[in-house]
Amino acid sequence: MQNNSPSVVHVESPQTAISAHSTTGHFSFVSPNPPLGTPNTHIFGSQATSIFPVSQGLTSTQVVPSRTVCSAVDIGLITWDQASVWFQSFFSGSHYLVPIFCERTDTVESVSSRSAFLFDAIVSIGCRAEEGLSSSIYHRLQSRLREHLTNVLINTLSPPSLEIIQAITVMASYSENGFTLVAIALRFALNMGMPDTVEQLMTKISKRSLEVSAEEKELYRIARVWYGICNLELFFSLDGGKLPGITLGTSPRRIRALVNHRERTAVDVRLLSQVELNIIRSNAYNNIVNQYGASILAENESLLRSTIHDTTVELALWLEEWTAIISTKPDLYHASVALSNIRIQYEWALITLHLKALSDSGIENIAIMNDFQRGMVYTAKEAAVRHLHHILHASSSPRLPIEASDQEQHPDQPSTYLTTFKWTMDYVWAKCAFSVLLVLKLALLLRDPPSDLILLLRDAHKVLEALKKITVGHIAYFQILQVSIEKCESALKEYMTEREREGGMDGLGEGEVVGDGEKDFQGYAPTEFVFEWDFPGLNLRHMPLGWQELFIDLDNVF
């Protein structure tokens, strides 16, 4: 979507598309207010950063003060020592997944003095990582967060602060109601004029000499939160079955300006790389839907080829440029971890790009696909194989980052990526379980040699064993991973037994009868991937048919 404004945010709904060039000018529910980021007190004083002044009017309905102005420590739910440990745990892993904080300033003392809601949200996720999803103290902290949120939503006299938006974003990242919560955070952010804040920051960056003022530091802090919310919304939208509800009208140059800013942290680099990647993915998805739809006409296939080619080039350039950016950073540990993550994200983008394009064609049976469609499945499978490799062999060894991709991880060294699952959210668990199921299924559907499938199963077992050590209670996705491996093994054993009976063949044949084990594996579609996520590719199958069977089992052809 093009616009003459240098930075445009479009908020979309099924009925309307609102262009927010200036939030104060285009949102009628925003009253006149001082510049965004004007603090009531010092940034890290006892009060939170307030973006709107408290309403001066009186209402006929009195809002009863809530005890949620106190933290979980204040009311005796947990001790300060527990809170400190869990707060530190959050900043040992979760802050990479919710990259809206700065470790230099968001200390336990600072956050606890600014916002009880944000403090409890951070402590709650740290407790989840250390004590597990099923722990009673975690559930009590979650109940406490619901009290905080309820108080915010019904208290119209005091507009949400930046810290409250951060707290809701943290909740959204780790909640089954993430879609709804991130929408609330996005609404509050738009009400408060965060897009205008980014414009103010860009103006200051373009005119600044050398010194960074306190005001500019505060603007960067708010911009970090804005992009963190938008990135989370894009993740949920792109893989959650709906078109993105927001379109960021930014550019790589603007993102580079933030990367090169003095306030930038190692976590910011990861956030900004993800923002740029998700913009590429979002643009591609929109083009696929608008140009291709469910039609399989030749002219539409030509448009689809062009979209796939252009997006693949964009993704390759994204990987190359961000590899160079990350490799120049002095912190080798953070650089190595970041490089592993962008490779995993790159392969995921390739997988979903090709399978999303294929799913909109309406063709599910690989046996009747044309060369172009079959080629997209093959490309997705190869990307899925590399994705599995990167997940299993991601290392944080302090080697030269530029050489990290060319060096093999020591067999006894655990995957850095998998060890972070102690802090990870359901979305990442779902992606991991799905990616393993997908690579096994695609290898079988494309009739890869049994020896290749055996190697993939070996790696899948390694992922399973590594995740057994993560005891935070993600039972559903762990079971999906386990069942996927078992069903694939059953299908492979059935095939190899049949081949031995027939004298043996080197590969899975194109025209053989599909056995019961393979039918069971092909039809395996966990409900989580049907109702909670919209990862493409699970509907694919291989149903070889002779001309006589076309009249008998027509429903299975497509």
| 3-class SS string, 503-547 | CCCCCCCCCCCCCHHHHHHHCCCCHHHHHHCCCCCCCCECCCCCC
Q: What is the DSSP letter of 32?
A: P
d(CA 74, CA 223): 31
Quickly count helices (H) and strands (E) in the chain.
21, 3
For CA atoms 365, 369, 372, 378, give the dihedral sign: positive
Last residue of a domain, one of 263, 292, 324: 263
Q: Is residue 343 part of a domain?
A: no
Hey, what are 366's tokens? 């690989």
Give how far Cα 361 sits from Cα of 117, 227, 304, 357, 558, Å: 46, 33, 10, 7, 11
d(CA 315, CA 417): 21
Backbone angles phi, psi at 9, to 5 degrees: -115, 130
Judge if 254 and 366 occupy the same domain. Answer: no
Domain that holds residue 28: 8-51+67-263
Kindly tell me the burial class for residue 139, based on how many C-beta atoms sit within 10 Å of its own C-beta (0-12, 13-18, 19 or more): middle
| pTM score, whole prediction | 0.83
Judge if 424 and 546 occupy the same domain. Answer: yes
3-state secondary structure of 213: coil
Looking at residue 335, its pLDDT comes to 85
- With the CA atoms of 69, 267, 124 and 40 taken in that order, what torsion angle do they form, in degrees rounded to the nearest 10? 0
Backbone angles phi, psi at 365, to 5 degrees: -90, 115
Judge if 358 and 495 occupy the same domain. Answer: yes
Q: Is residue 89 part of a domain?
A: yes
Judge if 243 and 367 occupy the same domain. Answer: no
Residue in the block written with tokens 């739910």:
77
Looking at residue 210, its pLDDT comes to 74
d(CA 478, CA 557): 33
Looking at residue 46, its pLDDT comes to 38
Hey, what are 44's tokens? 């890290």
Q: Is residue 62 part of a domain?
A: no
d(CA 232, CA 274): 10
Judge if 254 and 355 occupy the same domain. Answer: no
Judge if 259 and 357 occupy the same domain. Answer: no
* Positions in the chain short of pLDDT 50: 1-8, 10-61, 63, 65, 294, 398-408, 511, 547-552, 554, 557-558
Last residue of a domain, one of 218, 240, 263: 263
Please provide the distance, in angstroms rounded to a whole number, between the alpha carbons at the two ends of the chain.
Answer: 34
Distance of CA 49 to the CA centre of its chain: 28
Q: Is residue 280 part of a domain?
A: no
Q: Which strand (E) or helix (H) includes residue 336?
A: helix 332-359
For the chain, how many structural domains are there in total? Answer: 2
Judge if 252 and 116 occupy the same domain. Answer: yes
Q: Is residue 276 part of a domain?
A: no
| Helix, strand, coil in percent for the chain, rounding step 5 | 65, 5, 35
Looking at residue 485, its pLDDT comes to 97
Q: Is residue 274 part of a domain?
A: no
d(CA 398, CA 352): 31
Looking at residue 496, its pLDDT comes to 87
Name residue 364's amino acid.
Answer: E
Q: Is residue 498 part of a domain?
A: yes
Q: Is residue 192 part of a domain?
A: yes
Judge if 98 and 245 occupy the same domain. Answer: yes
Last residue of a domain, one of 263, 284, 307: 263
d(CA 298, CA 370): 12
Judge if 43 and 162 occupy the same domain. Answer: yes
